[in-house]
Amino acid sequence: MNQTFGHFEDSSREYVITRPDTPLPWLNYLGQDDFFGLCTNCAGGYTFWRDAKLRRLTRYRYNNIPMDLGGRYLYLRDGDTLWNPMWKPCRTSLDRYECRHGLGYTRITSEKNGLAVEVLFFIPPGETAEVWQVTVRNQSGGAKSVQLFSFVEFCLFEALNDMTNYQRTYSIGEVEVEGSAIYHKTEFRERRNHYAMFACTRKVDGFDTSRDAFVGVHNGLHDPKAVLAGACTNSLAHGWNPVGAHQLNLNLEAGAEESFAFVLAYVDQGTDEKFEAPGILNKNRGRALVKKYAAPGAVTCALEKLRTFWDGLLGALSVQTPEPNLNRMVNTWNQYQCMTTFNLSRSASLFETGIGRGMGFRDSNQDLLGFVHMIPSRARQRILDIAGTQLCDGACYHQYQPLTKKGNAEIGGDFYDDHLWLILSTCAYIKETGDQSILEAVVGYADTPGSKETLLHHLETSIAYTLQKRGPHGLPLIGHADWNDCLNLNCFSTEPNESFQTAGDVDGSSAESVMIAGLFLYAARELSALYQAMNRPADCARLDAAYAEMLVTIEEQAWDGQWYRRAYDAAGNPIGSAECEEGQIFIESQAWCVLGGAGVENGRAAKAFESVHQHLFTPDGIILQQPPYATYHKELGEVSSYPPGYKENAGIFCHNNTWIHLGWCLLGDGDRALEYYLSICPPAKPVETYRCEPYVYAQMIAGRDAATPGEAKNSWLTGTAAWTLVAATQGILGICPGHDGLVIDPCIPRDWPGFTATRKFRGATYEITISNPRKHSKGIQSLVVDGKPISGNRIPIAPEGSTVRVTAEIQ
């Protein structure tokens, strides 16, 4: 079914889209570390440096009609035919269209009336510039004279101001033009030391920088005045809306082709002189960039560098299993999405505007779990940045701006799970790298200027914070909410003008979260294991005691008979209990109690999971809770604001599905684990219903209570990416970094004969072959490392640079 709009090409690691009118715009990201572009299958989207709010290069109008309008546009004027190689914005029907979304690049090829155009968009590694390489080929059999126009609309850098404060922005726009390069220098005259440049590596035949001149006040992007007239006007923008447009007259003999590139760059002046003459921008860095990419072979070489970069990253983890969708997700697309969520958290996608949310405290800690094996040094820095937004009592800023790394309270706070995720990310980093020195790194508390505590201090503060913030049942207080942002038990909002995320007061409140209790178990056990690796038995014992005490509290206070309750509200009533009319059973508490180790000896873990299967599992994934809330409950908050079946109100929230996948692995049921894994796996979904990209996870699939069951939303920026990679590779395939070696503990479907995997770990490469001759799911019977049998299931750490051959058999 997915074939209708495109298909995977696994060998080139591309998703090939074969028609432009996809069910929703299908997005790709350009850029790998500092400079990013959102690029749809029609080249829609925008570009920014580091921070989609504060350093936006190009403008985007959200929720436009059509949905995806505005982006990297090229117009071709061929006789009477006006068309776009990326189809938008004119939408002239094409004779051929193909979009290949690859790792960090998008290549769109199209053809009209014998003219073939190929455009490759990417951001060369290390560069703060987007390169659009264009090749125009005359296949018509006769000579052709055509005009090509380029177009971008500049954003005046601060994206929120740019779209709201026209009384100012209409008077500040400034540009300069030199040869084929258009410089956007709004506010450079005063406090900005950066500018944007949109240049062409070929000589141009005209340009425009005024939107009114190029598009026209009464025209649209689909019929820009200058293109209709066949000539740019060489306009210089003074205020209003600066744009970058070039005109190229191309005369192509039959069979001839021309290649050139556009370069859209962000230039930071650094310590260079700002001006080369009074009021005139010092363009040296911009000029150098154009020269660099105008040189023959430069673009090919940069693209090669991008490929090498991804080959290196993906080389660290690859698997061959009997399940093709698992292979293509784990080997390529899931890891790729993990890089994106690591870079962008929840800031910029087609569902996040880049002007709202920044880096989430809990989100970024979780995103790191799927990224840490790729570039551990970046993960290290991220952990320290996140820790720096914690307050000295243990509370955290819920969000921070990537540019300033400063916490942002406007978007809410007092989420009493936030701090615990820092323990998970730090332990994952140390297990991956062995670098315990991070614990001694100095990170201050955000509310204590000059504080010089260590990261380990932050972890202990986090443990202490949960232990101290306890409610009447001895369970952790929930604060504004826990992982489920919408379970707002202290909000009681009756005012439509307030945000659920900021309303309400948690001081003195007594609502409690069972999920936080389970997460605490997990975090305390992780920290204890770390202390054990550090040979600090007294600290282990202290944490083990805190763990044991919380475990008793959970078993005594949170068991409902068939599953774990979810919470207690401010009045002490249970949530997620058979006693409730709606919201009787929730995913999160089953997942975290079980992952934290509850219910093992008393059989409750297995029972809770059977209840999940019975009440929550559907072919489209596991529903967050059942039954949905049919009406608004002010004592529950935002969760009951959504119509049944959507988002946190009984939607399929893919992120928390993955915790159940891990739970099935813990319980040893590999058949369920894979069945559940595939239920939310994008390439396995029917695309007409699912609608989002088939190659990346979405946050949410509408549940069976919704009017549109099976329909996905919020693709790309979701915690699903990291956790599903963890579930597949550490849960199902059971290749787990440990403090003193790689642990092999698969839990696979019984009919899998086995699988192979390559995993780089602490500088060595492990070639792993697992076989399953007795058709079981779990339990390693024999482990042979470089020809030597080893007892247990832990492979000792091998010397850096070595290749280790591992074979294991499931019992």
What amino acid positions are annotated as catalytic residues? 485
Q: Which residues contact 100 (CB under 8 A, 6 or more apart)?
A: 9, 12, 14, 15, 16, 17, 106, 107, 108, 109
Kindly state the smallest distance separating residue 622's Cβ from ligand NOJ, in Å: 14
Helices (H), 632-683: 654-667, 670-679
Q: Residue 130 touches which of ligand BGC, ligand NOJ, none (CB < 5 to 8 A by kind)?
A: none
The DSSP bridge partners found for residue 397 are: 413
Q: How many residues bind ligand BGC (CB under 6 A)?
A: 6
Three-state DSSP at 484 gives: coil
Q: Which residues contact 386 (CB under 8 A, 6 or more apart)?
A: 359, 361, 364, 365, 400, 422, 425
Q: Residue 360 touches which of ligand BGC, ligand NOJ, none (CB < 5 to 8 A by kind)?
A: ligand NOJ
Of all residues in the chain, what percent are helix, strand and coil, respectively (each to 5)?
A: 30, 30, 40
Binding mask 492-531 for ligand BGC (x = CB under 6 A): ---------x------------------------------
Q: Residue 363 touches which of ligand NOJ, ligand BGC, none (CB < 5 to 8 A by kind)?
A: ligand NOJ
Residue nearest to ligand NOJ (CB): 485
Binding mask 486-505 for ligand NOJ (x = CB under 6 A): x-------------------
The verdict on 636 binding ligand BGC (CB under 6 A) reads no
Residue 539 or 635: the one with the smaller Cβ distance to ligand BGC is: 635
Q: How many residues bind ligand NOJ (CB under 6 A)?
A: 9
The verdict on 13 binding ligand BGC (CB under 6 A) reads no
Q: DSSP class of residue 550? A: H
Q: Residue 483 touches which of ligand NOJ, ligand BGC, none (CB < 5 to 8 A by kind)?
A: ligand NOJ
The verdict on 352 binding ligand NOJ (CB under 6 A) reads no
Full DSSP string of 400-468: E-TTT--B-GGG-B-BTTHHHHHHHHHHHHHHHH--GGGGG-B---TTSTT---BHHHHHHHHHHHHHH
Three-state DSSP at 162 gives: helix
Residue 111 or 638: the one with the smaller Cβ distance to ligand BGC is: 638
φ, ψ dihedrals at 376, nearest 5°: -55, -30
Kindly state the smallest distance separating residue 398's Cβ from ligand BGC, in Å: 8
Kindly state the smallest distance separating residue 640's Cβ from ligand NOJ, in Å: 14
In SS3 terms, 93-148 reads as CCCEEEEEEECCEEEEEEEECCEEEEEEEECCCCCCEEEEEEEEEECCCCCEEEEE
The verdict on 147 binding ligand NOJ (CB under 6 A) reads no
CB atoms within 10 A of CB 613: 15
Upper half-sphere CA count for residue 672 (Cβ side, 13 Å): 23
Kindly state the smallest distance separating residue 486's Cβ from ligand BGC, in Å: 5
Sheet of strand 574-575: strand arrangement: 512-513, 567-568, 574-575
The verdict on 648 binding ligand BGC (CB under 6 A) reads yes
Interface segment toward ligand NOJ; rule CB under 6 A; list 302-310, 320-328, 478-486, 735-743:
478-486
The verdict on 483 binding ligand NOJ (CB under 6 A) reads yes
The verdict on 588 binding ligand BGC (CB under 6 A) reads no
Residue 638 or 711: the one with the smaller Cβ distance to ligand BGC is: 638
Kindly state the smallest distance separating residue 634's Cβ from ligand BGC, in Å: 16
Kindly state the smallest distance separating residue 210's Cβ from ligand NOJ, in Å: 40
Residue 244 or 637: the one with the smaller Cβ distance to ligand BGC is: 637
Residue 310 or 629: the one with the smaller Cβ distance to ligand NOJ is: 629
Residues 356-375 contacting ligand NOJ, CB under 6 A: 360, 362-363
Q: Residue 563 touches which of ligand BGC, ligand NOJ, none (CB < 5 to 8 A by kind)?
A: none
- Assess contact for 767 and 798: CB atoms under 8 A: no
Q: Which residues contact 248 (CB under 8 A, 6 or more apart)?
A: 147, 148, 149, 150, 200, 202, 204, 205, 260
Three-state DSSP at 596 gives: coil
The verdict on 455 binding ligand BGC (CB under 6 A) reads no
Three-state DSSP at 736 gives: strand
Kindly state the smallest distance separating residue 152's Cβ from ligand BGC, in Å: 31
Q: Residue 362 touches which of ligand NOJ, ligand BGC, none (CB < 5 to 8 A by kind)?
A: ligand NOJ
Residues 616-655 contacting ligand NOJ, CB under 6 A: 648
Q: Residue 100 touches which of ligand NOJ, ligand BGC, none (CB < 5 to 8 A by kind)?
A: none
Rounded CA-CA distance 133/115 in Å is 16
The DSSP bridge partners found for residue 782 are: 809
Rounded CA-CA distance 784/737 in Å is 18
Residue 138 or 347: the one with the smaller Cβ distance to ligand BGC is: 347
Residue 281 or 639: the one with the smaller Cβ distance to ligand NOJ is: 639
Q: Residue 501 touches which of ligand NOJ, ligand BGC, none (CB < 5 to 8 A by kind)?
A: ligand BGC
The verdict on 77 binding ligand BGC (CB under 6 A) reads no
Q: Which of 373, 647, 661, 691 binds ligand BGC (CB under 6 A)?
A: 647
Residue nearest to ligand BGC (CB): 485
Query: Widest CA span of the chain, in angstroms?
Result: 84
Residues 462-491 contacting ligand BGC, CB under 6 A: 485-486
Rounded CA-CA distance 593/404 in Å is 36
- Assess contact for 386 and 365: CB atoms under 8 A: yes
Three-state DSSP at 344 gives: helix
Interface ranges with ligand BGC (CB under 6 A): 485-486, 501, 638, 647-648
Interface ranges with ligand NOJ (CB under 6 A): 346, 360, 362-363, 483-486, 648
